[in-house]
Structure 1
Amino acid sequence: MRKAESPLRVITGKRKGTRLKAVPGSKTRPTSDKVKEALFQKIGPYFSGGIGLDLYAGSGALGIEALSRGMEEMYFSDKSGSAIKVIKENVISCHFESQAHIYKQDAVQMLEILQQKKERLSLVLLDPPYEQQQLVRDFSLIQDFQLIEDNTILVAEHSTALVLPKEIGNVSLWQSKKYRDTQLSLFKINNKYENTERNEQE
């Protein structure tokens, strides 16, 4: 696993520059500032409210970035106790306690909880450990549980070795870009958007 290129921080928005803690150990792979900034430039860069999900949250850096950029609420989920501890500390540092909902659950359990709550998500962030990638399953469950809306953006950060289908249920690949061994794959509802997929290497 590679280490973070620089200390974790909030890049921009209401909590710009706030330092974030990383999860101890080598099992969690922080998203680099370069990839994070590229991602939010594609999907935002700012939001006018909405509810999001950071499913494999790790330190919570992606979900916190979304809150800083205007997301109204964010669900954070990770099955690691050490990750949950760090997410809580980072949320407190950023004063997002009232907007963050933090769960120690695996991906399937978290999606079941959201189904029971009848939540509708406008942003879904999936950044699983590379050796545990089950993104097709996750995308399918998100749709089966009716957790997304017509304008929802689903983001998968995954290994370049993993080739995702261009369509998974009712969502289609919109953009895809590679950053060394990391790939960002962005999906949208395919009956509302033209498939303007772009594949780039950096």
Structure 2
Amino acid sequence: MRVIAGKYGSRNIETLKGMTTRPTSDKVRAAIFSKIGPYFNDETFLDVFGGSGAMSLEALSRGMKRVTILEKDIRASKMIQKNIDAFNENENCQLIKGDSLKILEQLPQTFDYIFIDPPYAYEHTETIIKMIIDNQIVEESGLIIVETDLRYDLPEKISGFGCVNLKKYSKTVVRYYEKG
């Protein structure tokens, strides 16, 4: 796996071996950043299920000012930290270890872009989205990007945010929610 574009373009990202995490493919990552960017200045990014940290490193590479990564899995957290260290991004990237639901209950920051890519069997994706909106973790003009398995259905509207775009990539669906 590698960073696709920006100041770290083509640099490798280490990932865990096995099935603990399911990193967003290069194709899907490129499509997401093509849709929302492709480059940024002072925006902020929250990666709710960090996995390898690839989405966050891509965001930093493309100019996001600050990135926060939430990850529960201990092995994945260690891999993310290793990648953050390798890219020398400790000042701009915060890794918070623990359960996303518990962290989101007390997260004080707000973000321009929030990326949610839960494990495919995860049953609380809609709850996570509602919590982000209701706790005003997403900026007023912010965007929530949700990557799920093709079989996982989400409503068109959640807490005043509507799905403004839906793209299918093989067995993956990416939904974009914004206010209105």
TM-score (norm 2): 0.96
Distance 2:135 2:37 in 1: 25
Other-structure match for 1:46: 39
Unaligned runs of at least 5 residues, structure 2 = none
| Alignment-mate amino acid for residue 50 of structure 1 | E
Other-structure match for 2:102: 109
| Alignment-mate amino acid for residue 83 of structure 1 | A
After TM superposition, list the pairs within 5 Å mapping 1:101-140 onto structure 2: 101-114=94-107, 117=108, 119-140=109-130
After TM superposition, list the pairs within 5 Å mapping 1:54-65 onto structure 2: 54-65=47-58
Shift of 1:92: 1.3
Other-structure match for 2:143: 153
Other-structure match for 1:175: 165
Deviations 1:133-171 (A, max 9, x none): 422101110112111222211000001101111100111
Deviations 1:78-121 (A, max 9, x none): 1100011000111111121110110111111221231xx2x111
Distance 1:52 1:39 in 2: 13
Given the alignment of the two structures, is residue 32 of structure 1 paired with residue 25 of structure 2, yes or no? yes
Distance 1:113 1:61 in 2: 25
Other-structure match for 1:93: 86
Distance 1:133 1:92 in 2: 32
Other-structure match for 1:196: none
> Contact 2:160–2:179 (CA<8 Å) still a contact in 1?
yes
Distance 1:69 1:133 in 2: 31
Deviations 1:44-81 (A, max 9, x none): 11112122110100000001111111110111111100
Identity %: 34
SS at the partner of 2:40? coil
Judge which range, 145-154 or 67-76, deviates more: 145-154
Shift of 1:24: 2.7
| Alignment-mate amino acid for residue 99 of structure 1 | N
In the alignment of these two chains, the number of paired residues is 180
TM-score (norm 1): 0.86
| Alignment-mate amino acid for residue 183 of structure 1 | V
> Contact 1:18–1:94 (CA<8 Å) still a contact in 2?
no
Other-structure match for 2:67: 74
Distance 1:50 1:97 in 2: 17
> Contact 1:24–1:82 (CA<8 Å) still a contact in 2?
no
Deviations 1:28-57 (A, max 9, x none): 111111111011100111112122110100
The runs of 4+ residues in structure 1 deviating greater than 6 Å are none
Distance 1:113 1:19 in 2: 33
